[in-house]
């Protein structure tokens, strides 16, 4: 679904496309997911789980603020370097959420889960004395995710733009919250 949405957008992605690319039957997709909206939501859910686990490992494995920031940047750059499929899929889901209450509720829960997982990892690292937070863990997590969202949106709106300077500014802002 991720590859299909990246190539065709949500409207152009059909169960036929996804089934053919995944090497499964269209009926199997209907059986497990019912609608393509549900399939997209599940694809995003899985991406959020994987990214959440990687973020947690990055935060809990850091031995200081610099390592933490480096790990977060690497994680973010991994998303960007995989091409736009992950990012496009997420933003397609955001668009669908504006017109579909079920998708909106699903997206809200995914975002909340990721934010809380990052906040908990930040709280754990701070309490262990690995780094110091200059704001509440929940606020730092929300801010870091907002920075990432902003950089991704800029990248999507201007794909040819070298976002390195923007990333440098985002890192400087993150450093202001971590010591």
Could you state, in order of their start, the residue ranges of all structural domains in the chain?
38-175
Measure the CA–CA gap between 13 and 3, rounded to whole angstroms: 9
* Cβ–Cβ under 8 Å, residues 69 and 122: no
**How do residues 63-111 score in pLDDT, each as one tens digit?**
888 888 888 888 888 777 755 667 777 787 788 888 888 788 888 888 8
Residue that the structure tokens 């690319």 belong to: 21
**pLDDT one digit per residue (tens) for the chain, 179 residues:** 877 877 787 788 889 989 998 999 999 999 999 988 888 778 777 777 777 787 778 777 888 888 888 888 888 887 777 556 677 777 877 888 888 887 888 888 888 988 998 899 899 889 999 999 999 999 999 999 999 889 888 888 888 888 889 999 999 999 999 88
Write down the CATH number for the domain with range 38-175. 1.10.357.10
Contacts of 23 (CB under 8 A, 6+ apart): none
pTM over 0.85: no
Q: How many residues does the chain have?
A: 179
**127-132 long-range CB contacts below 8 Å, 24 or more apart?**
130/62, 130/63, 130/64, 130/68, 131/62, 131/64, 131/65, 131/68, 131/178, 131/179, 132/65, 132/178, 132/179
pLDDT at residue number 144? 93
* Cβ–Cβ under 8 Å, residues 22 and 36: no
- Report CA-CA distances (Å) from 138 to 21, 47, 75, 177: 39, 21, 19, 12
Q: Where are the alpha helices (DSSP H) in the chain?
A: 2-12, 15-22, 26-33, 36-61, 65-81, 85-97, 101-127, 137-157, 164-175
Structure tokens at 69: 């920031």
């Amino acid at each position: 679904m991720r590859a299909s949405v990246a190539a065709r957008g949500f409207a152009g992605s059909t169960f036929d496309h996804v089934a053919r690319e995944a090497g499964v039957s269209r009926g199997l997709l209907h059986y497990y997911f019912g609608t393509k909206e549900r399939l997209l939501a599940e694809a995003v859910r899985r991406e959020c789980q994987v990214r959440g686990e990687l973020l947690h490992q990055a935060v809990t494995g850091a031995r200081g603020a610099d390592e933490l920031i480096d790990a977060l940047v690497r994680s973010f750059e991994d998303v960007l370097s995989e091409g736009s499929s992950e990012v496009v899929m997420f933003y397609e889901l955001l668009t669908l959420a504006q017109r579909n209450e079920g998708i909106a509720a699903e997206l809200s829960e995914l975002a909340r889960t990721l934010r809380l997982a990052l906040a908990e990892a930040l709280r754990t690292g701070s309490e262990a004395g690995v780094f110091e937070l200059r704001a509440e863990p929940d606020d730092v997590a929300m801010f870091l995710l907002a920075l990432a969202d902003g950089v991704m949106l800029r990248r999507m709106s201007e794909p040819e733009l070298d976002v390195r300077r923007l990333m440098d500014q985002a890192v400087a802002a993150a450093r202001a919250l971590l010591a």
